[in-house]
């Protein structure tokens, strides 16, 4: 099916852009029953809503003409968007769609030069695109004349209400002409949107192109188990594992964006940042760098979760879990757009496992669970990518061949190839050593699934498979119960810093001020070398005595308190003054001198 009932000027532009078939939402708004009516439209993210309403209001603005009058006056259409980035994107989309009509389109967004916008408005235009706050400001100052408006569009209406723009929207809708068309486009239609439609629309036609209880078919969801302290390192391995041209990494806060962006840049990634604390110029630069290919990764808050259409965005990473299913849907919907495939990765620390499962279930998303990509898997992919690099099969120039002969005259072919590999690897950020943080419940399930196989192998094979390392030595680290030591994060910490696996570690015993663990003897030298090379200063590893030779407890009631320590007597009665043992005083449990017998 071709585009029905489209103005000839717009049809030519669509053909030039190779828009041959309409998306479901575009086809729906172009049906005969929609002509001239108010619309409430819900559609999946990435479904072409901007082009849809651009086509829908064209008959209202142009009628049977193919171009606007050369002399423009007050604007005929007003498009309101929740964020600066979405407003700028809508401006760009409508600019190419209406290129042959001679339309003058002005954007009015916060962070840009307001005086320059007022000059453009005063010179006349046909369409205005902006954010609620800036548009209301221009209206109150008399810079935006809305007396001739024929169409008002609320793009991502639910997001504007979530961001607190209800008062601004009601102010503008009250001021616009009553006979206007009002088009509301939103991914969801909550009660607040329905109320707004009833108040400011006239017999609106409801169009719903969403497929309920069905996840985005063009997005492959992955849920990766990680230890809580390993989020940043897991992001590094995910970025190295997936070879996407453009990537969005979402963080929950601006501080998180700032910290992760700095870390990725330090590791050698081409990354930009996008958050609300940045100026409009910085935000525009970040998005343009991603579109131009000057940056491959954008670390962002949820300001980038709505409406943005980034070409070749093949991967979305949730470094911090979304707060609800709507945010999950909109974040993930930045990829898998316009029929292209995409991948969405959720990094799930163990304490948030249940929350992630509920979140995915509420959005009816089935994700494949796994551990993080390992350094070994990334190295294998690096080799495959090097061998498939087009530079190896592209024709060489005469200068390149001459230099190649010179190199072969002084070095062997194997040496030159090895140098090429070193040069290739030197440009790649270093992959991290991570452990698969599998929950205990899954470990039990794995044990049950292999039970019959083990029984068939016999008792000796079972003992051999599950035996602890035979020749071991004991190490200690300077964190114990008083420092909230827990095997859930102690074990991954030892594996990460010492570059060992769980199979190399035996018993772990946690005491008040230290933790002792058993390490296979053949792994001791590599463990010490890795710990020394890690640069870790807060966690100190030392050889120690076995756990069953813990230091003896001194005194009648345990270890002596340090001089000047606050004693339990301070808390004997409510309101009692703390008693501080003076320096040099005898211990409280010191033996009292015996009285002489009479």
Helix (H), strand (E) counts: the chain: 23, 18
Residue 257 or 84, more confident: 257
The pLDDT of residue 589: 52
Q: Is the pLDDT of residue 135 over 80?
A: yes
Residue 416 or 58, more confident: 58
pLDDT digits (tens, 9 = 90+) for 15-44: 888 887 888 888 899 888 998 899 998 877
The pLDDT of residue 49: 87
The proportion of the chain whose per-residue pLDDT surpasses 70, expressed as a percent, equals: 82
Q: Is the pLDDT of residue 184 over 70?
A: yes
Q: Is the pLDDT of residue 541 over 80?
A: yes
Count of CB atoms within 10 A of residue 531's CB? 20
Average pLDDT, integer, range 285-294: 87
The pLDDT of residue 465: 47
- In a 13 Å sphere around the CA of 58, the CA atoms on its Cβ side amount to 30
Average pLDDT, integer, range 277-284: 82
547, two tokens: 């756990």
**Apex CA 437: angle with CA 436 and CA 443, to 5°?**
100
Residue 150 or 280, more confident: 150
Beta-strand ranges (E) seen in 397-477 are 472-477
Average pLDDT, integer, range 188-197: 80
Q: Is the pLDDT of residue 445 over 50?
A: no
Average pLDDT, integer, range 318-336: 86
3-state SS assignment for residue 159: helix
The pLDDT of residue 142: 92
List the one residue out of 262, 319, 270 whose CA is nearest residue 297.
270
At 341, the pLDDT band (50, 70, 90 cuts) reads confident
Chain mean pLDDT for the chain: 81
The pLDDT of residue 145: 93
Label residue 1 exposed, middle or buried (CB < 10 Å: 0-12, 13-18, 19+). Answer: exposed
Average pLDDT, integer, range 73-79: 93
Residues contacting 390, CB < 8 A, separation 6+: none
Residue 561 or 548, more confident: 548
Cα–Cα distance for residue pair 44/464, rounded to 1 Å:
54
The pLDDT of residue 453: 44
Within 98-153, residue ranges assigned H as helices are: 114-122, 132-140
325, two tokens: 């299913």
590, two tokens: 């010191």
At 442, the pLDDT band (50, 70, 90 cuts) reads low
Q: Is the pLDDT of residue 479 over 60?
A: yes
Per-residue burial over 388-424, b = 16 or more CB atoms within 10 Å of its CB, e = otherwise: eeeeeeeeeeeeeeeeeeeeeeeeeeeeeeeeeeeee
Residue 510: strand pairing partners: 515
Q: Is the pLDDT of residue 561 over 60?
A: no
The proportion of the chain whose per-residue pLDDT surpasses 90, expressed as a percent, equals: 30
Quick check: 187 and 150 in contact, CB under 8 A? no
99, two tokens: 């290129």
3-state SS assignment for residue 226: strand
Label residue 77 exposed, middle or buried (CB < 10 Å: 0-12, 13-18, 19+). Answer: buried
278, two tokens: 């940045």
The pLDDT of residue 460: 54
The pLDDT of residue 256: 92
At 129, the pLDDT band (50, 70, 90 cuts) reads very high
pLDDT digits (tens, 9 = 90+) for 222-257: 999 988 788 999 999 999 999 888 999 999 999 999
pLDDT digits (tens, 9 = 90+) for 351-366: 888 899 999 998 888 9
Quick check: 355 and 321 in contact, CB under 8 A? yes
Q: Is the pLDDT of residue 437 over 70?
A: no
Average pLDDT, integer, range 445-452: 46
The pLDDT of residue 554: 47
The pLDDT of residue 584: 58
pTM to 2 decimals? 0.60
The pLDDT of residue 487: 82
The pLDDT of residue 571: 40
Average pLDDT, integer, range 148-164: 85
At 304, the pLDDT band (50, 70, 90 cuts) reads confident
pLDDT digits (tens, 9 = 90+) for 366-404: 999 988 998 888 988 988 888 888 888 788 888 888 888
Q: Is the pLDDT of residue 338 over 70?
A: no
Residue 535 or 7, more confident: 7
Sign of CA pseudo-dihedral 314, 317, 321, 327: negative
3-state SS assignment for residue 277: coil
49, two tokens: 């809503």
DSSP strand pairing (541-543 vs 472-477): antiparallel
Q: Is the pLDDT of residue 523 over 50?
A: yes
At 273, the pLDDT band (50, 70, 90 cuts) reads very high
Residues contacting 189, CB < 8 A, separation 6+: 40, 42, 158, 206, 208
Average pLDDT, integer, range 410-416: 85
Complete domains list, the chain, with CATH = 8-208 (3.40.50.300), 225-373 (3.40.50.300), 375-393+414-427 (no CATH), 438-466 (no CATH), 468-549 (3.30.70.2280)
At 216, the pLDDT band (50, 70, 90 cuts) reads low
């Amino acid at each position: 099916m071709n585009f029905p009932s489209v103005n000839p000027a717009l049809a030519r532009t669509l053909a030039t852009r190779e828009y041959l078939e309409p998306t479901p939402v575009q086809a729906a708004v172009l049906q005969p029953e929609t002509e001239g009516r108010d619309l409430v439209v819900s559609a999946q993210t990435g479904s072409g809503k901007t082009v849809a309403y651009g086509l829908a209001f064209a008959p209202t603005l142009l009628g049977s003409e193919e171009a606007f009058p050369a002399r423009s006056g007050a604007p005929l259409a007003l498009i309101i968007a929740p964020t600066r980035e979405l407003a700028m994107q809508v401006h760009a989309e409508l600019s190419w769609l209406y290129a042959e009509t001679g339309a003058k389109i002005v954007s009015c967004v916060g962070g840009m030069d307001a005086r320059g916008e007022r000059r453009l408005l005063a010179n006349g235009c046909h369409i205005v695109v902006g954010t609620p706050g800036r548009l209301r400001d221009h209206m109150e100052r008399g810079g935006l004349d809305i007396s001739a408006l024929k169409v008002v569009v609320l793009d991502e209406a639910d997001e504007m209400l979530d961001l607190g723009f209800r008062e601004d929207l009601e102010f503008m809708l009250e001021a616009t002409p009553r006979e206007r068309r009002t088009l509301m486009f939103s991914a969801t239609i909550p009660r607040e949107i329905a109320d707004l439609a009833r108040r400011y629309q006239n017999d609106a036609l409801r169009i719903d192109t969403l497929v309920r209880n069905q996840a985005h078919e063009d997005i492959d969801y992955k849920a990766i188990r990680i230890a809580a302290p390993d989020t940043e390192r897991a992001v590094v391995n995910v970025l190295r594992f997936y070879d996407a041209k453009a990537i969005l990494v979402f963080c929950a806060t601006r501080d998180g964006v700032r910290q992760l962006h700095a870390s990725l840049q330090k590791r050698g990634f081409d990354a930009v940042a996008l958050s609300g604390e940045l100026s409009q110029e910085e935000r525009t630069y970040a998005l343009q760098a991603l579109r131009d290919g000057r940056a491959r990764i954008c670390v962002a808050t949820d300001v980038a979760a709505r409406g943005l259409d980034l070409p070749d965005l093949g991967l979305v990473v949730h470094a911090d879990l979304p707060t609800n299913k709507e945010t999950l849907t909109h974040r993930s919907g930045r990829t898998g757009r316009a029929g292209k495939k995409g991948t969405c990765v959720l990094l799930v620390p163990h304490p948030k496992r249940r929350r992630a499962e509920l979140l995915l279930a509420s959005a009816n998303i089935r994700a494949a669970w796994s551990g993080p990509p390992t350094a070994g898997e990334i190295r294998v992919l690096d080799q495959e990518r090097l061998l498939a690099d087009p530079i190896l099969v592209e024709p060489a120039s005469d200068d390149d061949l001459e230099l190649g002969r010179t190199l072969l005259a002084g070095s062997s072919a194997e040496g030159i190839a090895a140098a090429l590999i070193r040069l290739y690897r030197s440009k790649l950020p270093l992959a991290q050593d991570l452990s698969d943080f599998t929950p205990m419940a899954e470990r039990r399930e794995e044990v049950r699934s292999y039970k019959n196989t083990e029984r068939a192998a016999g008792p000796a094979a079972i003992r051999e498979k599950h035996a602890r390392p035979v020749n071991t030595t004991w190490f200690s680290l300077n964190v114990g119960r008083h420092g909230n030591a827990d095997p859930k994060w102690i074990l991954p910490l030892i594996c990460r810093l010492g570059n060992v696996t769980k199979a190399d570690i035996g018993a772990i015993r946690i005491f008040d001020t230290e933790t002792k663990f058993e390490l296979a003897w053949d792994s001791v030298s590599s463990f010490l070398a890795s710990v020394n090379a890690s640069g870790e200063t807060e966690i100190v590893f030392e050889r120690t005595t076995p756990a069953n030779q813990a230091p003896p407890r001194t005194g009648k009631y345990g270890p002596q308190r340090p001089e000047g320590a606050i004693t339990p007597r301070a808390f004997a009665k409510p309101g009692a003054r703390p008693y501080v043992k003076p320096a040099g005083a005898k211990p409280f449990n010191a033996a009292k001198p015996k009285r002489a017998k009479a």
